[in-house]
Chains A and B, each alone.
Chain A
Amino acid sequence: MSVLDYVPAGCARHTALRYETGELGGEEKTVFESHLAGCAHCQATLDDLAADKRAFQAAMPFAAFEAGLARRTERARPFWSRRLVLWPLLAAGAAAAALVLMPASGTSPGAWDGIKGGGPSLRYYVKTVVGARPGVDGEALRAGDALRLQAGAGGRKYLLVIGVDADGKIYPWLSADGRSVPAGTEATMLPGSVVLDDDPRPERIFALASDAPLALADVARAAEAAVRAAGGVAGLRQIPGVDAEQASVLIQKAK
């Protein structure tokens, strides 16, 4: 086990790394540079770090790196600052469009919040590095968790999906031109995903299924009043005053 019976000597790689990034200063830097002058090991470490840098920047040139980062950070913008999600197929009312049905794998009790056999359906998936897993209504999620939604109108003609925050402010997940969209016959995955911000307060997502399109502004007023009356979103399973069947899920934030 001699290879793991390791005691750091004076040549810690991390110190060389901090020197290479320009982080060492003052006396610490002077001491290291003096040591470096006579240490082949640390000189080799710095040479290797330089080689790593060349290899990394060749494999991930800055322009492409930055572009990739911009795409990811756009998706990672705080929940309520994300741009309006448009669902082109439904918004265009393209009756002939085929809707992709997302297979519901790994269902668990509580994952569905909707009326079986009728009424709107709503479930969310938490995105992990290796795929998506069904979320559980009320589970505590973390800032940085990415969510996707699957929603259906349960036989009604129009669907509106909104998020409501602890202040009663709404954010549209699925709408077009400030109104509900024509619904398909099956529950489908909404395009895109959002990443939860670090606001610790819960949020609730509603699927509102109706026979006539709802106006987002009317729903917003009703939601704000409802949240105020209920003192938050935790217990608010329905938004009163909205002529729609409703399903909702609660997004709790881990402390």
Chain B
Amino acid sequence: MDQALVHELYEKYGHHVHSRCLYLLGNRDEARDAVQEVFVKVITHIQEFRREASSATWMIRIATNHCLNVRRSQKAGWRQQFERDEKARPQTYEGGEGVERRELVRSLLDEVDAETQAVAVHYYVDEMSQEEIARAVGRSLPTVRKRLKDFLETARGALAAQGLKVKVAS
């Protein structure tokens, strides 16, 4: 294992990968495990990493997909979503609406399919542009727009079913 490479990746991307894993898994031990698993994938596919136009985008995408897979595998009986969300500590980059948005997105992820999950996270949490998301997930712009629309519709339905009042968009 190339120690210099590992150190470079650790310095540049470790905290970003960790933040993503913690956000999606909501558990510090699981997040630490997931960070290492993501780095194993990156090191195993290092040639692909080097070909990417944006290494940061690629790392975030790998971490997102890995953790979404972990969430899906946990869904079948070992973990309740609300436990995970309750244990997760909110991140406070902007405070207020930004935090609320991330928390809401995370709580709704299990209502949508895998690809829509990834698009929603990249859009609402990473604040990537739709074009950046299309490049990151390898889909067309219309497909990304459709996934976002699907997510919003699902979100509205899920929140309405819970009888939650929502702010009217101004």
Contacts and interface: CB of A to CB of B under 8 A. Distances in A.
B126 A14 contact: yes
Given A22-B12, A59-B32, A72-B36, A2 B170 contact: yes
Given A2-B168, A17-B56, A66-B6, A128 B73 contact: yes
Contacts of B19: 52, 56
Contact of B127 (A14, A55, A65, A76): A14
Interface string A10-31: 0111100110011100000000
Interface string A45-62: 100110011011101101
A27 B33 CA distance: 38
Nearest to A62: B10
A55 B89 CA distance: 14
B86 interface: no
Of B56, B78, B168, the most chain A CB neighbours within 10 A belong to B56
Contacts of B39: 69
Interface of A: 1-6, 8, 11-14, 17-18, 21-23, 41, 44-45, 48-49, 52-53, 55-57, 59-60, 62, 65-66, 68-70, 72-73, 76, 128-130, 144
Interface of B: 1, 3, 6-7, 10, 12-16, 18-19, 28, 32-33, 35-37, 39-41, 43-44, 54-57, 60, 69-70, 73-74, 78, 91-94, 97, 100-101, 104-105, 122-129, 132, 152, 155-156, 159, 166-170
